Amino acid sequence: MKLNGIFPPIATPFDHNGDLYKAKVRHNVEKWNQTGLSGYVVCGSTGESVMLTPDEKFQLWAWVAEYAAPEKLLLAGTGMESVRETVWLTNKAAEMGYKAAMVRTPHYYKNLLNRRDAQTLYFRAVADQVKVPIMIYNWPQATGVDIPPESVVELSEHPNVIAIKESSGSLEKVMQMIREVKPGFQVLVGSAPTLWPSFAVGAVGAVLAFANAAPYSTVTIWEAHRTRETEAALDWQNRIGRAAYLVTVKYGIPGLKYAMDLNGYYGGPARLPLLALAAEEKTEVERRMADIRN
């Protein structure tokens, strides 16, 4: 399975009562279908997955599978703290037509899990029991756990572990993994501010929150890299850099959802306790997003 290109970890639309908003799921997916995005990750961190019930995840997986264009690859965010629940969710997603799962590093018991052997055991145990391939998801800024490259190299030998989404933003770590993993194992990144440099050192794709609001600009960087148009890639990288940092790092999901609203997608409210942007924060996002293609 090839994971080349740009995948948005799609934001979950909620109405103002906090319920899933089916019409806006359809609106967003059908609008994204018209872009060069490679597929969709449903129930990732950007989808506020830690705030969704299992039934809500099943509903989102069903709706996105219904509305996605046939050529779009569907990936499910299924990582939970235990091997047992992760396996259960992953196999449910497989039954619903999802082709692979993105599984984040377990992290709640940090003193026990922030070690190489525990992380390796977790991913190996999940991969042994699930019906679809898995992608390791590493986002140490949120989890406080940073899976070491040595573990990724070891896990790359497992036939059902096919990729990693490395969201630390560390090009050095990306380069080390690309050098040392088993041939055919795919390294994707999750940092829009370092997107083109990551492609330049060998990343094959990206799972980007910023692609929710600006799919064309992120796909343009991918295509420019693929066709070796370095100047165009750098130009677009420089255009999105500050906006991407603002709405994904500084303001997080509420900032991203507001950027989506500005660009004709539905962002809407985030779930409490995530706070809506203040007026001056909205103005800052508006200024940075003004010249970003949607």
Contact 42, 20 (CB under 8 A): no
Q: Catalytic pick from 24, 72, 165, 257? A: 165
DSSP structural state of residue 14: B
* Measured distance CA(120)–CA(271) in Å, rounded: 32
The reply to whether 165 belongs to the active site is: yes
The β-bridge partners of 205 are 5, 188
Task: Return all residues near 227 (Cβ < 8 A) that are at least 6 apart.
Answer: none
Amino acid at residue number 33: N
Q: Between helices 215-226 and 230-244, what is the axis angle to 10°?
A: 150
Residue 265 structure tokens = 């997608």
Grouping H, G, I as helix, E, B as strand and the rest as coil, residue 155 is: helix
* Measured distance CA(26)–CA(211) in Å, rounded: 17
Grouping H, G, I as helix, E, B as strand and the rest as coil, residue 6 is: strand
In sign, the C-alpha dihedral spanning 218, 223, 226, 231 is negative
* Measured distance CA(255)–CA(280) in Å, rounded: 12
> 256-275 as b/e, with b when 16 or more CB fall inside 10 Å?
bbbbbebbebbbbbbeeeee
Residue 75 structure tokens = 């990936």
The catalytic residues are 165
